[in-house]
Amino acid sequence: MKKILLIRFSSIGDIVLTTPVVRAIKQQTEYELHIVTKKQYEGLYSSNPNVDQVHSFNKHINECLTDLKNEKFDVIVDLQNNLRSYKLKRELKVKNYSFLKLNIEKWLLVNFKINKLPNVHIVDRYFKAVKSLGVVNDKKGLEYYIPQHDEVAPENIDSKLKDGYCAFVIGGQHYTKILPPEKAALIISKIDMPIVLLGGPDDRKRGEEIFRMSQDSNIINTCGELNINQSASLVSLAEVVITNDTGLMHIAAAFDKPTISIWGNTIPEFGMYPYMPENPDNYFISEVEGLKCRPCSKLGYKKCPKKHFRCMMDQDVDAIVKVLKKFLNGD
């Protein structure tokens, strides 16, 4: 059987965004599908039934290079497209296809506010890399597979959750992509239902701060207590999800959850907004439009370069709550 190697080293959200390509390759070709990724993300692929084998490394690709060479791949699909993936392709010496990262276009938009970006979601840009293989987008959206041992019963977290709840993802990789605690607390104060705060260990104190500011007994702070699969399990069972632009936003999209995504210094035009091709009305993008400084980065910063942080501080809380109630009412 012919073998194909798909390259995506990181991170959570980006890996979830590759799942439509993974599914399409498996269902539309006869290739045995292998993935190479970082060790910390291996589980995201190994739990996916469309993946035949996962190769992983901790720090250096050389850790698994011999194994990759021994597989004698027929073709490589590079959905990472960086220096490390270039070196890997050079070592393996087989036919390869890559997606366009559009770094120049992003640079123009960040630095000169000149928008030359195509109005194309990154999932569809990924599919251009496999066009020559005859693989097409089935438009069935993202996928996320939770191992059975990581499935969480919400009522086991807190009895208040048994009749429904809102999942609020309060974390993010960069400060400028995270809604400030005072704004999150204000949103929560206007929501009459249990709220589960989701995030990693670094978000624990932020969750405590939100609780302290809102004094809402309906808040359950799970930040730092759950792994990514367990957090995903709670997202999958939520009535509605409020989230920063982070990995759990894409996981919410994979479960087709009504999602309110909050955008700070980055913009949806980069092509990484919630991907729900079968249900595009199931998400709402909350952003502060008209700021001359936005986007100030294609990733994010530890603090606002302009010191005013208006992209988050000026978020329309009432509009967010209005959309949330609309989702809950099924409108």
Per-residue pLDDT at 27 = 98
Q: For the domain made up of 150-328, give the CATH fold.
A: Rossmann fold (3.40.50)
* Per-residue pLDDT tens listing for the chain (331 residues): 999 999 999 999 999 999 999 999 999 999 999 999 999 999 999 999 999 999 999 999 999 999 999 999 999 999 999 999 999 999 999 999 999 999 999 999 999 999 999 999 999 999 999 999 999 999 999 999 999 999 999 999 999 999 999 999 999 999 999 999 999 999 999 999 999 999 999 999 999 999 999 888 899 999 999 999 999 999 999 999 999 999 999 999 999 999 999 999 999 999 999 999 999 999 999 999 999 999 999 999 999 999 999 999 999 999 999 999 999 998 7
Question: What gap in Å lies between CA 231 and CA 144, rounded to an integer?
Answer: 12
What value, to the nearest 5°, has the Cα angle with vertex 285 and ends 279 and 287?
Answer: 170
Contacts by 310-314, CB closer than 8 A, 24 or more apart: 311/176, 311/263, 311/264, 311/265, 311/287, 312/176, 312/178, 312/179, 312/180, 312/183, 312/262, 312/264, 312/288, 313/180, 313/183, 314/288
Please tell me if the domain spanning 3-133 has the same topology as the one spanning 150-328: yes
Per-residue pLDDT at 215 = 82
Q: Closest by alpha carbon to 165, among 203, 191, 126?
A: 191
Per-residue pLDDT at 123 = 98
Question: What gap in Å lies between CA 135 and CA 184, rounded to an integer?
Answer: 42
Question: What gap in Å lies between CA 166 and CA 152, rounded to an integer?
Answer: 15
Question: What gap in Å lies between CA 284 and CA 328, rounded to an integer?
Answer: 13
Domain spans in the chain, listed from the N-terminal domain onward: 3-133, 150-328
**Is the entire prediction scored with pTM above 0.85?**
yes
Tokens read off for 307: 């010191």
| 314 touches 290 (CB < 8 A) | no
User: What is 243-305 written as a DSSP string?
Assistant: EESSHHHHHHHHTT--EEEE-SSS-GGGS-S---TT-GGGEEEE--TT-TT--S-SS--SS-T
Edge to edge, the sheet with strand 219-221 lists 219-221, 195-198, 166-169, 240-244, 259-262, 283-286
Exposed / middle / buried, residue 109 (Cβ in 10 Å: 0-12, 13-18, 19+) = buried
Per-residue pLDDT at 133 = 97
Q: Which superfamily does CATH assign the domain made up of 3-133 to?
A: Glycogen Phosphorylase B; (3.40.50.2000)
